[in-house]
Structure 1
Amino acid sequence: MKQIVSGLFLALLVSVMSLSVADAQMLPTTTTTSTATDNADVSLDEMSPEAINAMVARMSDDEVRAVLLDRLDAVAAATTSEEAPRTLIEQATLLWNAFSQPVLDAVRKTPGLFPSQFEAFQNFGTNHGGPGGVLTLIGLTALILAIGLGVEYIVRTWLIKIRNPEANQGHASLRESIVFLFKRFLREIFGLVIFYVTIRIVGRNILDAQQVTFVAPFIGYMIWMPRIAAAFSRFLMAPNRPDLRLVNVSDRWAGFIHRHLIGIVVLGGATIFVVDFNVLNGVPAGETRIGFWIDTMVYVYVGYVVWTAREGFSDMMRGDDPNRTDFDEALGKAYPYFALAVAGFTWVLVSTMIGLGKVQLLLAGAHYATMFWLLIAPVIDTGIRGLVRHLVPPMQGEGKVAEDAYISTKRSYVRIGRVIAVGAVLALIARTWNVSLLDLMQNREGIGDNLFSFAMTAIVGYVVYEGVSLYINRRLAAEMTALGMSQEDADNEMGGGGGSRLSTVLPLLLVTAQGTIIVIFGLLSIGNLGVDITPLLAGAGIAGLAIGFGAQKLVTDVVSGVFFLVDDAFRVGDYVEIDGTMGAVEKISIRSMQLRHHRGPVHTIPYGEIPKLTNYSRDWVIMKLKFTVPFDADPNRIKKIFKKIGAEMLQEELYKDDFLQPFKSQGVFDFDDVGMIIRGKFMAKPGKQFMIRKEIYNRVKAEFKANGIDFARREVRVALPDNVAELPKQDQAAVAAAAAAAAQQQQQEGENPTVKGPD
């Protein structure tokens, strides 16, 4: 029985007893004397399986059962002691406690703030030899600063002759402004490098190690960092040179923001310096919480600056682009409130991290870097729009189509730039918090990786979406601008030349491409969140099959439309006739087309209902004009007049490119009861025939008048006898009444009667 029990439980004993050395030593020592004596000082982890088997063989069934129960109780206790996953409410409670406890702790310790700080100053004086040593340290610090500033001035101004760059007062181009400001910025940075190297060399030679622990942080946080901030601010704000300013802000707010930006950096540096100073002088950071109060003053200061200069910040965010959108206006108005929210959120974040005990990153200034990158958004956005405005090629062509294309191109580039800027800012913020994006991409596990993959896929999809839309819209605008069809032609009569084949297909291609990109990257993004997209794909396939069977008419319309486009049967702008319905093709979609009648109504016709299509706007148009002249007019003379008019119009800049064949006479076409019908014709480009026809009518009328040729009109001829004057008055009155009645009848029929006497 012992061998069977030992064989069954050997593996369990080996695995369970090897959990830890401490747990392994918890075996009961009150069994038998031999067992206790043999194994009292032996760890089970050090025993071989054979030794454990031998030990079990010497034990009774009750002893083995007792050992197993003790070990299982120990394992259950260890498992129970492990922290169970927190619920959402527990996590929220934990975060609230982490945020509120440091605040309450700082309030409780406020009465001891000044005594503790006085203690830190006393310890500082003691560590540096009393008041005399402190005065000596202050003097040495002033001497180091004076030497550093002096060497900076001498090297920068005299030795290598780096003068302040000069720029002409008045309006300067963007390139001139950037060159001037960048040269000035490099000059300041070069001076700061000289200053840093000088004070480092001098400080190492005249200060001891203990003095350096005070002087180095003081100069770094209170002088070095504010000077760097001032250099960057002067580059962007140019408070004294509004003609060179890179951001859209008034002189008043540029100076205000510049001054207080330096003040914010000074106060932020003071937070880190004071905390380090107290720690080095025997006052722990948690004893006074002075760092909390100074840090809080930083956020209050930021809120004061943002709220006071909210008009200036809004102007900066709007920029000076004349083609601002409603989104740009809304963004400009909302930015000051966003900045206030960022300052408040950063304060809450800092307090929470202190409560969680993660203060190392705060001492490195990660929270200030985060707030900086979030608050500098107006400058980044203004820079993107400025670069786009100056780097995008100038508008091609003229008119509303070209202008809309130019504005659309700029907006697409701005949106792409904003997405890239957001990604770069998030990467920089992640770096300040020691979060490596490369590690996130390599360690593909956890919800953090899912969210990161989702965000990256969405960003890439959006950039692809904007890029494809930008390319197709630019091609479409170029095609439509190249058509050169005037608004006057569209307003007169339809029937002109339509768009190119590419301009007809591109809108459909754009919609198809956008839909495809949205579907593909949408599914990829959902998949990156851990959602199984296989059911979605299967559902889409079933839905497509159902649509195919249940909407055969829709399929017929779509397929018919594809073949019409392949056959190039019509294009946008063509004047067509479909089963008695006429109009210009105004819009096409996947299943139908819209025709605009020349009187205004719009007809929507599915492709599947088009039995045949007549296109009046392809390649060329022949227009024939009829002129009725009296029977006694000379046709040859009229032919010469028509030829002269055709030759003159071929020389006119306004008409010569629209003719394919000149205007000429076709001779006598017909006779009627009024006169001879002379016909002329010309061949022109589609859409240009109406303007040419109008001009030909004007010129023919003028030439006929100059050559004494009248247009034939319907006439009422009344033949009177030669002796009408000898007739009785009663007969004369009857003749006059008959002539007037005939004239009135012709007038009612819309004719222009002419009453003539006998020839």
Structure 2
Amino acid sequence: MLAQPLSLPGPETLRLWRDLLDPVWPGALLAVAVLLAGWIGLTRWRSTIAARLRETGGLRRRLTQWLRYLAAALLPLLAALLALLVWAALARPDRPELERLLRLLLPVLAAAAVLALVNCAFTLLSAFGRRATREITRRLPPQLGLAAGLMVAALLLRQGVPGLTSGPAGAAALALETAAALIGLRAAWQQRQTLRQLLKGESATPDEDPPTLPERVTGWVADHWHLLAIGLILAGMAGRYGLFGPDHRTGLFADLLLALALLAIAGVGILLAERLHGHILGRMQVVAGTGLRDRLALRLGRVIRTGVQIAVALWTASAIAALWWPGLRQDGTAVTAGLTTLVALYALWVIWTLVDTLLDWSASHSMGRGTRIRTLLPFLRNFAFIVVATLAAISVLSNLGVDVAPLLAGAGVVGIAIGIGAQKLVGDVITGIFIIFEDSIAIGETVEAAGKTGVVEGLTIRTLKLRDGDGALHSIPFSSITTLKNNSRGYGAYTISATILNPEDTDRALAEIGRIGREIAQEPEWQSLVTGPFSLWGVDQITPTGVVIKGNIRSHPNAQWALGREINRRIALRFSELGIAQVQTQPLPPPPV
């Protein structure tokens, strides 16, 4: 089909336009004059509010100041509309004249509205720490406002103009759209660096809270936003010029602009969620790694923030998908199943975060006797993870339409078979559970179990790991432990034993051993290890080899061996000085590592 020839409007068309505009042009000039006067007159007031907004602290005060700025930005529009109402009340135009007036003013009002809203958006970002440079606030909003006005004018031309055929009206609309596209391309290229810095900025959350996945995607989009904007504008104009076929001449450009607007809204929503979380953390004065409240504010707040951001991203993706693939609206079964699965997984993620945070906080605040929480932490965390992972798998399979009842029954049968075939393993696990929950041993304590003595280096649900004095690591199954001796609970005690050959030296030996015990209990170097006075028991035995003298001293756990060695050393030196013959001391076990 040949295109319709283009021709300039003739005298009759110009006369028709003059007749149509004569009744309404005074109202249009009045509205434009009021709009310009209001915008220029309120410039200083808006600047003052914006300066106060950047200096104001607190979310409520910032929002109050921003609402004032929004009112100052929209007040010229409201004044122009009020002027139109006053003119209409005085001039009393009929309905067609009033419609022509609104069509004539609609591009101007659209441009002014976009200019005001973009200014308000930059001011809002500036209030939350995203400093917009003077260049971008001075150039970009007018450019976007002009482009919006041209697009609205092109839309009105495509709806028809009295006295013009579709050919000239379409050509004029295409020219206006081309001009708007060129303005958009120029703005995107000019402001690529400044807008990138504005969109990225600094994180509002602490360093311990890394960016979420939606924030990383938003950061990547911020780095390449100008390429995305240029690509969408060029694709839209290609559709307008018919490069994608005649079916995409009118709808493609509007769809691309709507998709771009949806992406911009999603980006702003993701940034505001991050800023709001950072503001809440700042108001709470959260310090990483301290109390339970601060840990929950960081970790659970991050989960909630991520959930909000993912919800915004999914809403944007679904809106864009419905825009480009309308068939998705008819069959929503797969979408519903997917959303239900995501909600279930998110709920389990929240539960896991709560459990993991409580376990971490309990481990960091376990003080005093033993380290029971630190010992139980790996088992509890693994158990909680298995439970949450199992629930997640069941939820996903159920939402995908899989009947999970046979799977659960099969899992029960397999569990019974494993229990019968691994009775010793089950015995190890059950014994380990009782030992751990009864707090019989803990990591770092010196114990004797299954004939081995050493320091507990690790506890699993099945085995005990001991490091002996020779450096060897023993892995002892819990089922082989029949008697457990713990040397690190309550207090330690060391029994002194000395054997002398000559019975006539008994009284002197008793006196010297008692004196040595009292001396070591009073010396500052050893006093901190002693918990009770030295107890001299006296003559314990009379054997063919000599007279056995014993005593006892109490100490803090694991300190008795150091005290015993020092007392034996002093007894040996003192008896040698006094000539008390053939003194023997009991052998000491190797010290714990």
CA-based RMSD: 5.5
Based on CA coordinates, which of the two structures has the bigger radius of gyration?
Answer: 1
Matched position secondary structure for 2:365 = helix
The equivalent of 1:86 in structure 2 is none
Query: Are the equivalent residues in 2 in contact too, given 1:635–1:668 (CA < 8 A)?
Result: no
Distance 1:315 1:465, change over 3 A: same
Relative distance call for 1:427 and 1:206 in structure 2 (3 A) is same
The two structures have a TM-score, normalised by structure 2, of 0.69
Tell me, yes or no, if structure 1 residue 278 matches structure 2 residue 163.
Answer: no
Q: Are the structure 2 counterparts of residues 519 and 431 from structure 1 closer, same or farther at C-alpha, using a change threshold of 3 Å?
A: closer
2:151 pairs with 1:265: no
| Aligned residue number for residue 518 of structure 1 | 392
- Within-5 A mapping of 1:144-159: 144-146=34-36, 148-149=38-39
Q: In the alignment, is the contact (CA less than 8 A) between 1:275 and 1:291 conserved in 2?
A: yes
Identity score, percent: 9
Q: Distance in 2 between matches of 1:353 and 1:406?
A: 58
Moved more, 130-139 or 556-565: 130-139
Q: Write out aligned runs for 1:89-488 (5 A).
A: 127-128=17-18, 139-146=29-36, 148-149=38-39, 164=49, 176-206=57-87, 209=98, 212-238=101-127, 245-247=128-130, 254-255=133-134, 258-259=137-138, 261-263=140-142, 265-279=144-158, 280-281=160-161, 282=164, 284=166, 286-287=170-171, 288-290=173-175, 293-294=178-179, 296-297=181-182, 300=185, 303-304=188-189, 307-309=192-194, 312=197, 315-316=200-201, 319=204, 321-325=206-210, 331=217, 334-336=220-222, 339=225, 343=229, 351=239, 355=247, 359=251, 362=254, 366-376=258-268, 379-387=271-279, 389-390=281-282, 394-395=286-287, 410-424=298-312, 426-427=314-315, 448-484=331-367
**AA of the residue aligned to 1:316:** G
Provide the rounded CA distance (Å) in 1 between the counterparts of 2:10 and 2:509. 124
Cα separation, 1, equivalents of 2:19 and 2:165:
19
Unaligned residue ranges in structure 1 (runs of 5+): 1-104, 239-244, 486-494, 528-532, 650-654, 720-759
| Alpha-carbon separation, structure 1, partners of 2:202 and 2:423 | 49
Contact 1:624 1:679 in 2 (8 A): yes
CA distance in 2, matches of 1:163, 1:258: 15
Mapped partners of 1:151, 1:233: distance in 2? 20
Deviation at residue 514 of structure 1 after TM alignment: 1.9
Q: Tell whether the 8 Å contact from 2:118 to 2:141 is kept in structure 1 after alignment.
A: yes
- Separation in 2, partners of 1:390, 1:477: 23
Amino acid of the structure 2 residue aligned with 1:410: L
What is the Cα deviation at residue 370 of structure 1? 1.0
- Cα offset, 1:222, TM superposition: 0.9
Which of 609, 612, 616 lines up with 2:486 in the alignment? Answer: 616
CA distance in 1: counterparts of 2:31 and 2:187, whole angstroms: 30
Among 519, 525, 538, the residue aligned to 2:406 = 538
Cα distance in structure 2, aligned partners of 1:164 and 1:254? 17
Residue equivalent to 2:450: 579
Letter in 2 for 1:233: F
SS of the residue aligned with 1:667?
strand
DSSP-derived class of the 1:419 partner: helix
Show CA shifts across 1:308-331 (max 9, x none): 347626743755632254867965
What is the identity, as a one-letter code, of the residue corresponding to 2:460? Answer: I
Equivalents in 2 of 1:635, 1:122: separation in Å?
132
1:616-655 CA-to-partner distances (Å, cap 9, x unmatched) read: 2785243337598994854554555466569x96xxxxx7
Q: Which residue does 2:573 correspond to in 1?
A: 713
Write the mapping of 1:551-566 to structure 2, written as runs, cut at 5 A.
552-554=420-422, 557-558=425-426, 560-562=428-430, 564-566=432-434
1:199-252, Cα deviation, whole Å (9 max, x unpaired): 1121233365255224531332111221122112112125xxxxxx524xxx5x
Find the counterpart in structure 2 of residue 725 from structure 1.
Answer: none
CA contact (8 A) 1:626 1:677 kept: yes
Report the Cα offset of residue 572 of structure 1.
5.5
Q: Counterparts of 1:130 and 1:468 in 2: how far apart (Å)?
A: 68
Instruction: Give me the whole-angstrom Cα distance separating, in 2, the residues matched to 1:553 and 1:628.
Output: 55
Native 8 Å contact 1:579 1:612 kept in 2: yes
Matching residue of 1:595: 465
CA-CA distance at 1:516 after TM superposition: 2.4
8 Å CA contact 1:666–1:678 kept in 2: the answer is: yes
Judged with a 3 Å threshold, the aligned counterparts in structure 2 of structure 1 residues 357 and 632 are, in CA distance, closer, same or farther, namely: same
Structure 1, residues 241-288: CA drift from partner, whole Å, max 9, x if none?
xxxx524xxx5x644554565256325513432213423534657545
* TM-score of the aligned structures, taking structure 1 as reference length: 0.56
SS at structure 1 position matched to 2:552: strand
**Structure 1: distance between partners of 2:49 and 2:136:** 23
Gap change, CA 1:669 and 1:246, over 3 Å in 2: farther
TM-aligned CA deviation for residue 178 of structure 1: 3.4
Distance change (3 Å), C-alpha of 1:541 and 1:665: same
C-alpha separation between the residues in 1 aligned to 2:442 and 2:14?
A: 84
Structure-2 change in CA distance of 1:146 and 1:301 (3 Å):
closer
The CA distance in 2 between the partners of 1:151 and 1:565, in whole Å, is 78
Report how far residue 602 of structure 1 moved: 6.0
Aligned in 2, Cα 1:665/1:542: closer, same or farther, shift over 3 Å?
A: same
* Cα 1:146/1:342, change in 2 over 3 Å: closer
Preserved CA contact (<8 Å) 1:587 1:593: yes
Q: Secondary structure at the match of 1:483?
A: coil
Match for residue 507 of structure 1 among 374, 381, 389: 381
**Residues of 2 paired with 1:346 and 1:421: CA distance?**
24
Secondary structure of the residue aligned to 1:662 is coil
Q: 1:166–1:387: structure 2 CA closer, same or farther, 3 Å change rule? A: closer
Paired residues in the alignment total: 537
Matching residue within 662, 673, 681 for 2:554: 681
Aligned match for 2:534, one of 665, 673, 679: 665
Contact conserved, 1:343 with 1:371, CA < 8 A, in 2? no
